[in-house]
Amino acid sequence: MAQFTRVSRSVGLITLQNPPVNALSAVARQGIVDAVKRALSDPKVKSVVICGQNGIFCGGADIKEFGTNITGPPLVPMIHAIEASNKPVVAAIEGSAFGGGLELALGCHYRVAHSKAKLGLTEVTLGLLPAAGGTQRLPRLIGVPAALNLITTGRHVTAAEALQLGIVDQVTDHNAVDEAVKFALSVAGKSLDARRISTYPCPCPSDVDALFEEVMQKVRQSARGAIAPIACVQAVRAAATLPYSQGMEREQELMATLFTSGQARALQYCFFAQRAVGRWSMPSGARWDTSKPRSIHKAAVIGLGTMGRGIAVALAQTGLSVVAVETQEKQFMEAKKMVSGMMERGAKRHGTAPPLDKITYSQNIQAVADVDLVIEAVFEDMALKEKVFQQLSTICKQGTFLCTNTSALDVDHLASQTRNPELVVGMHFFAPAHVMKLLEVVYGPRSSPQAVATAMQLGKKMGKVSVAVGNCRGFVGNRMLKPYLEQALFLLEEGATPELVDGALEEFGFALGVFKMSDLSGLDVGWKVRKGDGLVEPGLASGPSARIRQGRRYSPLGDLLCEQGRFGQKTGQGWYRYDKPGSRVPRYDPWLHSFLEEYRTQHGIVARRIDQQEVLERCLYALINEGFRILEDGIAAGPEDIDIIYVFGYSWPRHRGGPMFYASMVGLAKVLERLEHYHQAHPDVPYMQPCNLLRRLVASGSPPVHKWKEAIKKLRSQL
């Protein structure tokens, strides 16, 4: 709803009241319409201020309404009525003005913002466009190039930038509502002819076609298949080339297409899923709302390789005191320099001071004696990690949480090396750890709810999207990656090329295909793991048995490349060729192609034509199938957890909503049918055997993704 009061005798104050973010629900819109009518008909009211309660102007349209039959007054005429008012209307912007919230403010005649406020036309991030006149008003107010930048990215701007761009008229450090009221008093009775943005001509560069062609090309490239940014460009083009009323028609037309698209559903699902993962639960029944985290003031990082350095920077950036330990002299000196450089570059980007004094360095593990929490980030070797945990358990003060940044090893086994296994959890960061948003918080059977709550809270403080998951080999993300990588190799054996596989995955929306990603992260990483698992057998004879390991199909292609010293970008050769070691641009490598041909001949494989659809089905459905197993095993509490891990940690295209959401969009019956088909064709690939949970969900009528958790619970209780 919206509350109307009269303040300072002649100012009508309209306060949006729809906690928590004053979203423009049907009731809120009706409240505004009624309050505006009241203000305009009250002769004592000479000017109007619109604000939001609890320090937030407005979080935009009510996203929860989007999947429903929308009732109540529509936004566009409501905003037109405000703009057409003959009494000045001032928006008092505190907190956030996003999406429809900013569009409402653009319909007002003036905007006063608090200096800490954030503004943005964020609709594109939800698969939509600013369809309450935003695509038509913003370019008229700040010009086409700046409007295009804001509308196609949905980025948040500070009040200072908004003032510089001309979006707001005044910025204040004081109470924005009080300042807006003063402002409203000062403009009462003044002409509004020059204040209605919809009547402005759109300032437009002379060569509109060239400008939009260039922008469209850039947007297409960065959109990775998302349609909303393209529609945003088209709508702004309408603002630049058509009268306002026709521009509005175009805006509505484009919105109608986006509104019902699968991409909008996927992006809105991600919005809520991102928030849902914060409400974690464990199979023991422990939950986010009943588990109290402990405050962490001082933390330590053990091991200053690539991961440890990033973690130390991320911790210091949150304002914590950090002890950074590296026992090897050479690495120690190098890390100190690198960490300082990373902090300086980060601070420069944000216009802040680098938190250099937050980190103290030591070559002695005893230096962690008084910290509240340790993150171990030594080399991925169980024997080494065991030793570190045994040491930590005796060195650290009572109650110190001991966390491991392992990406796959058994957290419970590490816990068993300590005196207090309940204090041990995994904190699996993604490289580079000070940049990547994802954190998997891994609980073992003995981890206490407080340890999980503390790691989750610390992750949030570090600006991470933290997901609590159970303990198993590879946890959620890397466990699902294994069948995906395996299928990619099998496809190469059968006749595909790295270019074909990567092309299909990139067209699907991944930033990098599987082979480019493997070159980037280094082929030697997986090679070491496979060696440890006893899978690598150099010089094995040709023939089908050479491609069977531990009773299942195995492709030694990656091992063969590593044997040749082809580790990817770092050596200048991998699945692609690079101009020199460390170069980043992958190029077609004739050597690799002849190698694949020879390999097939040696193993008696006749190459066949493989199309993009087969690539997608085999790589993605194998990964999704493992996702169902993870749900079945209770390693992830729900599909949202898996999807958020994939979107934030593995560059899964957000407009596809994550792998489990994608499966629900494809249709569970179809996914099952294709898995059955491929499992029949490749019976020696267990990952292709459809998981029981998938079969049972299909048998129970393929419930929509938001009902899976409930359905899984029910299916479990029937076992």
- Write the DSSP assignment of 524-576 as a string of letters: HHHHHHHHHTT---TT--SSGGGGEETTEE---HHHHHHHTT--BGGGTBSSS
Euclidean distance between CA atoms 496 and 634, whole angstroms: 35
18 binds ligand LUC3G6IP (CB under 6 A): no
Euclidean distance between CA atoms 149 and 442, whole angstroms: 39
Locate 104 and state its tokens: 């409402």
**Contact with ligand LUC3G6IP (CB under 6 A) among 16, 63, 159, 517:** 63
Distances (CA, A) of 349 to 61, 119, 222, 343, 346: 32, 20, 21, 10, 5
Active site residue 344: no
Stretch that binds ligand LUC3G6IP, among 121-129, 218-226, 448-456, 458-466 (CB under 6 A): 121-129
Assess contact for 136 and 254: CB atoms under 8 A.
no
**Contact with ligand LUC3G6IP (CB under 6 A) among 9, 20, 585, 719:** 20
**Contact with ligand LUC3G6IP (CB under 6 A) among 79, 104, 124, 128:** 128
**E strands of 10-161, at which residues?**
11-16, 47-52, 89-93, 96-98, 110-114, 118-120, 157-158
Query: What is the smallest separation between the CB atom of 130 and ligand LUC3G6IP, expressed in angstroms?
Result: 6
Indicate the residue type of 267: L
Residue window 232-261: x/- pattern of binding to ligand LUC3G6IP, with contact defined by CB under 6 A: -----------------------xx--x--
Stretch that binds ligand LUC3G6IP, among 15-23, 85-93, 311-319, 570-578 (CB under 6 A): 15-23
Q: Residue count at the site for ligand LUC3G6IP (CB under 6 A)? A: 27
Residue window 259-278: x/- pattern of binding to ligand LUC3G6IP, with contact defined by CB under 6 A: x------------x--x---
**Contact with ligand LUC3G6IP (CB under 6 A) among 4, 98, 244, 280:** 98
**Contact with ligand LUC3G6IP (CB under 6 A) among 35, 126, 144, 202:** 126
**Contact with ligand LUC3G6IP (CB under 6 A) among 3, 44, 54, 64:** 64
Euclidean distance between CA atoms 199 and 244, whole angstroms: 7
- Closest to 22 (Cα-Cα) out of 83, 91, 107: 91
Query: Which member of 65, 83, 94, 123 is catalytic?
Result: 123
Give the residue with the Cβ less far from ligand LUC3G6IP, 64 or 345.
64
Stretch that binds ligand LUC3G6IP, among 32-40, 56-64, 161-169, 388-396 (CB under 6 A): 56-64
CA 307 to chain centre: 20
- Closest to 693 (Cα-Cα) out of 628, 643, 606: 628
CA 262 to chain centre: 18
**Contact with ligand LUC3G6IP (CB under 6 A) among 2, 45, 57, 62:** 62
**Contact with ligand LUC3G6IP (CB under 6 A) among 99, 308, 310, 638:** 99
**Contact with ligand LUC3G6IP (CB under 6 A) among 31, 52, 59, 690:** 59
Query: What is the smallest separation between the CB atom of 444 and ligand LUC3G6IP, expressed in angstroms?
Result: 28
Euclidean distance between CA atoms 718 and 703, whole angstroms: 17
- Closest to 230 (Cα-Cα) out of 128, 122, 144, 100: 128
Question: In sequence order, what are the residues at sequence separation of 6 or more whose Cβ sits closer than 8 angstroms to the Cβ of residue 163?
Answer: 113, 169, 170, 171
Query: Which member of 83, 94, 103, 380 is catalytic?
Result: 103
Active site residue 499: no
Assess contact for 466 and 455: CB atoms under 8 A.
yes
131 binds ligand LUC3G6IP (CB under 6 A): yes
**Contact with ligand LUC3G6IP (CB under 6 A) among 10, 96, 418, 625:** 96
**Contact with ligand LUC3G6IP (CB under 6 A) among 122, 405, 406, 417:** 122
640 binds ligand LUC3G6IP (CB under 6 A): no
Q: How long is the chain?
A: 719
Question: In sequence order, what are the residues at sequence separation of 6 or more whose Cβ sits closer than 8 angstroms to the Cβ of residue 369?
Answer: 395, 396, 397
Locate 416 and state its tokens: 């068993």
Select the residue whose beta carbon is closest to ligand LUC3G6IP and give its number. 99
Q: In this structure, what DSSP letter does residue 314 have?
A: H
Query: What is the smallest separation between the CB atom of 99 and ligand LUC3G6IP, expressed in angstroms?
Result: 2
Rg of the chain, C-alpha, whole Å: 28
Give the residue with the Cβ less far from ligand LUC3G6IP, 62 or 440.
62
Active site residues: 103, 123
**Contacts to ligand LUC3G6IP by CB under 6 A:** 20-21, 23, 59-64, 70, 75, 96, 98-100, 122-123, 126, 128, 130-132, 255-256, 259, 272, 275
